[in-house]
Chain A
Amino acid sequence: MSHDTKHAEHAHPTGATYLKIGLILTIITAVEVWAYYIPALVASPLFNPALIIMSAAKFAIVVLFYMHLKYDHKLFKALFTGPLIIAMGTITALLFLFGKVKL
């Protein structure tokens, strides 16, 4: 495979796509804040998981599109996701260890 072909596969989104992604991030943030002010939603057992899912979605969108990890070399993906998995595992383990989360 020539370098040019490789480059074509790794092309980045356009400015319009970046603007759309910015709009999506804003909408998700607005939904998170709106939910915070609805007592019935806050009392729901699904409130915290829903917030974490929305936050994870924003995290993934920024990493994949703004940081271009979706289009980047697999070594960069490994350098980021490896420590991220260790970090998430550490947080989870500590929360179980200190009784903040129970099965």
Chain B
Amino acid sequence: MASHAHAATTGHADGHDAHEHHHYTTTGLDHRKIAIWAFIGSECMLFASLISTYLIYKGKSLVGPFPHTEYVNEAGKVFKPILDIPVTSASTFVLLMSSLAMVLALQAVQLKGTPLAAGAGWWQRAERSSQLWLGMTALLGATFLGFQAYEFTSFVHEGLTIKTNLFGSTFFTLTGFHGAHVTVGVLWLMMLLWIDRTRGLGPKDELIVDICALYWHFVDVVWIAIFTLIYLIQ
């Protein structure tokens, strides 16, 4: 286990710089971290409402295209099952790896300033590069958005829009809301990367990176649920 302290959780930060930012709270915890957890809790309920709406209307569409089965319309046109599992599996993998990059970015910020052992390898040096991991997280998040743009575009070309049927309405609403959250996350990460490049992020900034990381991981866990409930369960 790493020996560095979990300053943001306790509100008793380590290091001289961090002590300068210490302020008293009635819980002993930083208000900003309580706020992000409360926000994440409320987001759980938002996505639960969207997921339940999708599940309730699942299989109730009168016309296709359908997610997992073929559909032939009155004119005899055949619509293949519309969900593209290989593409979505790849985008799911990308988002999972972005979570890994994010947690390594937070660790890099925490480790900054700690002495590097003589003869340290590339991994030990990489572990301290917050710009590398923040940039990688943003890039992977943008890649996920690219996959989603491709998926939405191909669905529209295949005849599925938000107003085609109940599947289209609930699917685009749910995944669109998630995509909007990923977009906010990517912008947030790019802002942190910009701060890191201009003035550098260090242990005193652990909390601001931790809050962004919590949001990013939450976006990831929502997708974990969406991938199984919408794409894999037939």
Interface residues of A (CB under 8 A from B): 3-4, 6-8, 10-15, 18-19, 21-22, 25-26, 29, 32-33, 35-37, 42, 48, 51-52, 54-55, 58-59, 62-63, 65-68, 71-73, 75-76, 79-80, 82-84, 86-88, 90-91, 94-95, 98, 100
What are the residues of chain B within 8 A of A37 when measuring CB–CB?
85
Interface residues of B (CB under 8 A from A): 1-7, 9-10, 12, 14, 27, 29, 33-34, 37-38, 40-42, 44-45, 47-49, 51-52, 55-56, 58, 85, 89, 92-93, 96-97, 99-100, 102-104, 107, 110, 123, 127, 213-214, 217-218, 220-221, 224-225, 227-229, 232-234
Contact B52 A95, beta carbon cutoff 8 Å: yes
Contact B96 A22, beta carbon cutoff 8 Å: yes
Contact B48 A87, beta carbon cutoff 8 Å: yes
Known: A15-B104, A58-B224, A87-B48. Contact between A48 and B123, CB under 8 A?
no
Bound form: Cα–Cα A33–B192 in Å: 34
Q: How many Å from the CB of A84 to the closest CB on chain B?
A: 5
Q: How many Å from the CB of B58 to the closest CB on chain A?
A: 7
Contact A83 B44, beta carbon cutoff 8 Å: yes
Partner of A62, one of B4, B51, B52, B224: B224
Contact B228 A55, beta carbon cutoff 8 Å: yes
What are the residues of chain A within 8 A of B110 when measuring CB–CB?
12
What are the residues of chain A within 8 A of B232 when measuring CB–CB?
32-33, 35-36, 51
Most buried by A among B14, B51, B221: B221
The main secondary structure of chain B at its interface with chain A is helix
Tell me the nearest residue of chain A to B51, going by C-beta: A91
What are the residues of chain A within 8 A of B104 when measuring CB–CB?
15, 18
Q: How many Å from the CB of B75 to the closest CB on chain A?
A: 30
Contact A66 B103, beta carbon cutoff 8 Å: yes
What are the residues of chain B within 8 A of A95 when measuring CB–CB?
52, 55-56
What are the residues of chain B within 8 A of A7 when measuring CB–CB?
5-7, 10, 12, 14
Contact A72 B4, beta carbon cutoff 8 Å: no
Contact A62 B107, beta carbon cutoff 8 Å: no
Contact A66 B6, beta carbon cutoff 8 Å: no
Contact B56 A67, beta carbon cutoff 8 Å: no
Contact A29 B92, beta carbon cutoff 8 Å: yes
Bound form: Cα–Cα A100–B29 in Å: 42
Contact A73 B9, beta carbon cutoff 8 Å: yes
Bound form: Cα–Cα A90–B45 in Å: 9
Contact B217 A67, beta carbon cutoff 8 Å: yes
Contact A6 B99, beta carbon cutoff 8 Å: no
What are the residues of chain B within 8 A of A32 when measuring CB–CB?
227-228, 232
What are the residues of chain B within 8 A of A91 when measuring CB–CB?
48, 51-52, 55
Contact A80 B56, beta carbon cutoff 8 Å: no
Partner of A25, one of B3, B96, B214, B225: B96
